[in-house]
């Protein structure tokens, strides 16, 4: 099977690598910030409608979920489209998902509820959709914390990958969180859930739960090949 075979890129084509590092990655980085820029612009201009706090909260939640699904789409797209280069962007996308989750949570706690801790705690405990949302956030914390190359080395690729399977339940909880909060029109949350089912279904069908964990045919051992998706540095 064609993988992002480290052997293939072992003799790095320096030009294309530089292109990814200094052009493509910054472009994707800026693109990921666009929703935030849109939000900042509309907050500053007072153009978020009659209930700007609600709109900001929903907007950040929408993008948190979208980035989670985009991160989860990287592996399938890489395999189906044969674009190993996509893996170079996965960590960034995942960290943006976490960033939007944190912003979503912060806007709920700090703006919507304005640090009314008693009410916040009561909501987390009593409202299943909020409990579930908090659960998704908690599951994502260790993933963000172990996103560095150093943490991958320290944990070992195998354990690191196993830990990062937490993104699957986190995304499922995120979709459930959205589904459970709407009043009657469930079309939009169903679209998100459908995409998640497709992304997880692909993994189930192809048994690629561990994403890039298939040992390469040359069997380079379990530690040496640092997974390309999470490594920003070219394999040496």
Question: Of these, 24, 36, 163, 181, which contacts other proteins (CB under 8 A)?
Answer: 181
Question: Of these, 15, 49, 150, 205, which contacts other proteins (CB under 8 A)?
Answer: 49
Nearer to other proteins, 1 or 44 (CB): 44
Examine residue 113 and tell whether it contacts other proteins (CB under 8 A).
yes
Examine residue 48 and tell whether it contacts other proteins (CB under 8 A).
yes
Q: Is the dihedral angle over the CA atoms 89, 171, 199, 69 positive or is it negative?
A: negative
For the chain, the distance separating the N- and C-terminal CA atoms, rounded to the nearest angstrom, is: 22
Q: CA geometry: angle at 74 spanning 69 and 77, to 5°?
A: 115
Examine residue 66 and tell whether it contacts other proteins (CB under 8 A).
yes
Among the listed ranges 37-45, 99-107, 149-157, 201-209, the one in contact with other proteins (CB under 8 A) is 37-45
For residues 150 and 216, the answer to whether their CB atoms sit within 8 Å is: no
The position carrying tokens 């709407």 is 182
Question: Of these, 20, 28, 36, 53, which contacts other proteins (CB under 8 A)?
Answer: 53
Examine residue 184 and tell whether it contacts other proteins (CB under 8 A).
yes
Examine residue 115 and tell whether it contacts other proteins (CB under 8 A).
no
What distance in Å separates the CA atoms of residue 176 and residue 173, rounded to the nearest whole number?
Answer: 5
Examine residue 121 and tell whether it contacts other proteins (CB under 8 A).
no
Binding string, residues 4-33; x marks residues near other proteins by CB under 8 A: ------------------------------
What distance in Å separates the CA atoms of residue 172 and residue 179, rounded to the nearest whole number?
Answer: 10
Nearer to other proteins, 191 or 198 (CB): 191
Question: Of these, 144, 180, 210, 226, which contacts other proteins (CB under 8 A)?
Answer: 180
Torsion of CA 157, 163, 167, 173, to 10 degrees: 170
Q: CA geometry: angle at 68 spanning 53 and 24, to 5°?
A: 105
221: left (phi > 0), else alpha (psi -120 to 50), else beta? left
Examine residue 191 and tell whether it contacts other proteins (CB under 8 A).
yes
Report the interface residues with other proteins, using CB under 8 A: 38, 42, 45-54, 66, 113-114, 116, 119, 122-123, 126-129, 180-181, 183-185, 187-188, 191
């Amino acid at each position: 099977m064609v993988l992002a075979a480290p052997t293939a890129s072992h003799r790095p084509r320096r030009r294309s690598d530089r292109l990814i590092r200094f052009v493509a990655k910054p472009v994707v980085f800026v693109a990921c910030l666009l929703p935030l820029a849109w939000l900042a612009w509309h907050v500053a201009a007072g153009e978020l409608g009659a209930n700007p706090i609600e709109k900001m909260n929903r907007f950040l939640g929408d993008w948190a979920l979208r980035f989670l699904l985009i991160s989860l789409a990287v592996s399938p797209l890489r395999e189906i489209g044969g674009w190993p280069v996509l893996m170079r962007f996965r960590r960034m996308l995942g960290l943006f998902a976490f960033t939007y989750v944190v912003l979503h949570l912060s806007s709920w706690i700090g703006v919507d509820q304005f640090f009314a801790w008693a009410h916040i705690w009561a909501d987390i405990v009593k409202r299943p959709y909020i409990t579930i949302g908090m659960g998704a956030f908690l599951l994502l914390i260790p993933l963000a914390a172990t996103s560095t190359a150093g943490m991958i080395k320290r944990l070992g690729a195998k354990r690191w990958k196993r830990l990062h399977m937490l993104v699957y339940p986190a995304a499922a909880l995120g979709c459930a969180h959205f589904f459970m909060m709407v009043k009657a029109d469930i079309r939009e949350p169903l679209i998100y859930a459908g995409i998640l089912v497709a992304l997880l279904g692909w993994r189930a069908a192809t048994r690629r739960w561990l994403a890039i964990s298939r040992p390469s045919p040359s069997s380079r051992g379990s530690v040496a090949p640092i997974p390309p998706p999470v490594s920003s540095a070219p394999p040496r």
